[in-house]
Homo-oligomer: A and B are copies of this chain.
């Protein structure tokens, strides 16, 4: 790699000198962060005590990132662009800190790291230092919406940021390691969902520096022609910049970026002028050495251009005088004295190409989306509520009602375009299809006559990739918009690791004063564990709740609305909230309506409460508490309550429903947690509690183990018993059916074992009747199918 592919003199001599100075300065500052505790400007000879005791950080990717950043700065200046920078190789934190320091956006949010020698010392020292800044492009880095600690999501984030931002260009550097991940491999197809009229542009910059931690990368080791076919097959027009000679590379990069920018504008002009052709957006492939400009060999082994430059190329600088000398030579090779003035600030030549104000990528308001966030024009949920003259007398499909609510929201939002619904091909299956009355599914590929609800400007986004849905939504939210992700409950585990990272991001961002709150990430998990009639065991997994419950309590909320109106109330609340991850689990199947809209709103606000209308002898201390969380458990608990009324009419049964699961935690653990007093008032200090829960039963124990009455909690839930079978059989398989709940009451309430033995026997027989019936008829017992509360 010694020559650039394309050398057109796009830069004047002055510009060439300026872009090189900016690059050298960023490289100097990147290496400085990894190594230096002191002597930041090398104004004295480097000594061991100037070196950090623990050398941490990633050099390998940094010079490439700095190269791209410098050249994008030139492009922004030249065309007054509104541009964001997404850093796929997010462990190149030193590079982004260096560039935002040079452009002044970092000192604005971290004044202690000002543009002078003291500030540079702070910049260096704090990096990967206890109490300092982390090593990735974390929320602390201005301009970032993508930490990149976990690889694979940069391009999805970039597309999410570009949706509905027609004037924005999102430059996205993709590492060739990251490019091997599945999510990144499918993210290229996002160009079939990006509308050149209403959306902005994404400029993917595939950075082939050839190596991961310890291996070459796939895309750097296939023939160039094969890579070209791959990118064209993904629907892009590839542009290449290849080489290692800085002067040639600067010219090639500048010329290529000019071309790429012209192509973007041409696509947008044509589309906005009425063209209907799917565009071939450009992709830039930058092939440059890993650890470019760093030590070429260390201890006799090649380092620059190999995986050995991935982290810290000179590992033993404090202890090995030769390494110390090599470091000093390396740092001085950037000629810091030409780059920084007497005070330590960057000289005018260094910053000549840096944009001003909000055009600086570290100060682009889209990257601090809360600055741009507007409250959604939310409809009043009560207008879409179902009428409930008495509990359980009617039924509805909860998600279908939510679909009508979202339809009105989409209609209200049409002129703003800052709300989207994401899903992996399940919007209709999840019965939210009323939204198609007012918007369509985004689709830029070919359309055939039988197709329905597809349009280039649709605001529903469906692709069979939970990773893409999640990544797009994260990018959309972090740039100041709103959204909802509707997903099959079992398969939301596909994005477990992504939601980890998003929660960590929100948790950290909450502690950073200049990061403004963003809209919450809202999940609607439906087609849930209890209703997988078509699919069976593989589709049965309620564990996402457990997964998020492990994360920071400040961020995580879990709601289990038992019917239609509670779902509407919860959804409205979640769409209004900020900086949370809200998990809503709700069914799509016909469900009894328990609460009218006002009762629903009140119940959801309280998060948990006694349903007196379902309880017996509400004036007495109950003999037993029947608790429920989730739609299927709620129906079973009410069916059990009805059986108890019939068979044990003198028993005082309290029915408690929990909508907001985190209410069960102590108030010291979670902001929604109940105090001990509240908890005991609901669940009693000492009576048996038979708790029917939507998910894995032990989660209730984990949330409630500190409560007075915990020893009396007896939880039923999903125990990994499942197959393709009837809805009621699923409950029986997991011992959460109404008959078993009555048996549980009899077994737990002192004194009932003897007196209620015949009732217990009747319940056992009912379960046996069920088994015989379904194996013969293939559907549930008529008494179960036709059951109603009232």
Contact B445 A218 (CB under 8 A): yes
Contact A182 B465 (CB under 8 A): yes
Q: Mark A721-741, 1 if CB is under 8 A from B, else 0.
A: 001111001000000000000
Q: Quick one: which of B178, B182, B311, B541 contacts A534, CB cutoff 8 A?
A: B311
Closest B residue by C-beta to A135: B724
Please report the C-alpha to C-alpha distance between residue A28 and residue B429 in the assembled complex, in whole angstroms.
Answer: 27
Looking at the assembled complex, report how far the CB atom of A672 sits from the nearest CB atom of chain B, in whole angstroms: 17
Looking at the assembled complex, report how far the CB atom of A60 sits from the nearest CB atom of chain B, in whole angstroms: 12
Contact B775 A130 (CB under 8 A): yes
Q: Quick one: which of B183, B234, B305, B551 contacts A450, CB cutoff 8 A?
A: B305
Q: A668-727: which have CB < 8 Å to B?
A: 696, 698-699, 701-702, 705, 710, 720, 723-726
Q: A204-252: which have CB < 8 Å to B?
A: 210, 212-218, 221-223, 226-235
Question: Can you list 22 residue pairs at the A/B interface with Cβ under 8 Å?
Answer: A54-B533, A130-B726, A130-B774, A134-B723, A135-B724, A136-B536, A149-B539, A180-B463, A180-B468, A182-B183, A212-B464, A214-B425, A221-B446, A227-B233, A302-B450, A311-B534, A493-B496, A496-B547, A508-B537, A546-B550, A550-B720, A698-B705
| A348 surroundings in chain B (CB, below 8 A) | none
User: With A56-B534, A189-B218, A232-B226 in contact, do A178 and B450 touch (Cβ < 8 Å)?
Assistant: no
User: With A450-B306, A491-B497 in contact, do A547 and B543 touch (Cβ < 8 Å)?
Assistant: yes
| A234 surroundings in chain B (CB, below 8 A) | 230, 233
| A182 surroundings in chain B (CB, below 8 A) | 152, 181-187, 465, 467-468
**A349 contacts chain B at the CB level, 8 A cutoff:** no
**A788 contacts chain B at the CB level, 8 A cutoff:** no
**A462 contacts chain B at the CB level, 8 A cutoff:** yes
**A620 contacts chain B at the CB level, 8 A cutoff:** no
Please report the C-alpha to C-alpha distance between residue A497 and residue B447 in the assembled complex, in whole angstroms.
Answer: 33
**A510 contacts chain B at the CB level, 8 A cutoff:** no
**A389 contacts chain B at the CB level, 8 A cutoff:** no
Please report the C-alpha to C-alpha distance between residue A183 and residue B537 in the assembled complex, in whole angstroms.
Answer: 21
Closest B residue by C-beta to A52: B778
**A448 contacts chain B at the CB level, 8 A cutoff:** yes
Segment at the interface with B among A499-507, A579-587, A755-763:
A499-507
Looking at the assembled complex, report how far the CB atom of A223 sits from the nearest CB atom of chain B, in whole angstroms: 8
**A151 contacts chain B at the CB level, 8 A cutoff:** yes
Contact A129 B778 (CB under 8 A): yes
Closest B residue by C-beta to A151: B464
Q: Quick one: which of B133, B149, B454, B705 contacts A705, CB cutoff 8 A?
A: B705
Please report the C-alpha to C-alpha distance between residue A425 and residue B175 in the assembled complex, in whole angstroms.
Answer: 14
User: With A182-B465, A230-B234, A543-B547 in contact, do A534 and B496 touch (Cβ < 8 Å)?
Assistant: no
Looking at the assembled complex, report how far the CB atom of A737 sits from the nearest CB atom of chain B, in whole angstroms: 14
Please report the C-alpha to C-alpha distance between residue A364 and residue B91 in the assembled complex, in whole angstroms.
Answer: 46
User: With A701-B702, A778-B37 in contact, do A128 and B311 touch (Cβ < 8 Å)?
Assistant: no
Q: Is the interface of A mostly helix, strand, loop or mixed?
A: loop
Closest B residue by C-beta to A305: B450
Number of this chain's copies in the assembly equals 2
Please report the C-alpha to C-alpha distance between residue A621 and residue B464 in the assembled complex, in whole angstroms.
Answer: 60
Contact B537 A178 (CB under 8 A): no
User: With A218-B463, A425-B212 in contact, do A54 and B779 touch (Cβ < 8 Å)?
Assistant: yes
Contacts beyond the supplied A138-B538, A150-B538: 8 A-B pairs with Cβ under 8 Å: A56-B724, A91-B534, A181-B467, A182-B182, A189-B218, A213-B426, A501-B538, A550-B720
Looking at the assembled complex, report how far the CB atom of A670 sits from the nearest CB atom of chain B, in whole angstroms: 12
**A535 contacts chain B at the CB level, 8 A cutoff:** yes
Q: Quick one: which of B222, B533, B726 contacts A192, CB cutoff 8 A?
A: B222
Q: Quick one: which of B138, B185, B429, B720 contacts A507, CB cutoff 8 A?
A: B720
Q: Quick one: which of B192, B539, B550 contacts A218, CB cutoff 8 A?
A: B192
**A131 contacts chain B at the CB level, 8 A cutoff:** yes
**A494 contacts chain B at the CB level, 8 A cutoff:** yes
| A777 surroundings in chain B (CB, below 8 A) | 53
| A133 surroundings in chain B (CB, below 8 A) | 724
Please report the C-alpha to C-alpha distance between residue A324 and residue B546 in the assembled complex, in whole angstroms.
Answer: 45
User: With A56-B724, A128-B724, A177-B464 in contact, do A445 and B221 touch (Cβ < 8 Å)?
Assistant: yes
Q: Quick one: which of B37, B135, B214, B725 contacts A130, CB cutoff 8 A?
A: B725
Closest B residue by C-beta to A186: B185
Closest B residue by C-beta to A53: B779
Q: Quick one: which of B128, B183, B552 contacts A720, CB cutoff 8 A?
A: B552
Contact B305 A729 (CB under 8 A): no
Contact B215 A441 (CB under 8 A): yes
Contact A534 B705 (CB under 8 A): no
**A57 contacts chain B at the CB level, 8 A cutoff:** yes
Q: Mark A109-150, 1 if CB is under 8 A from B, else 0.
A: 000000000000000010011111111101000000001011
Q: A275-318: which have CB < 8 Å to B?
A: 302, 305-306, 311
Q: A735-781: which have CB < 8 Å to B?
A: 774-775, 777-779
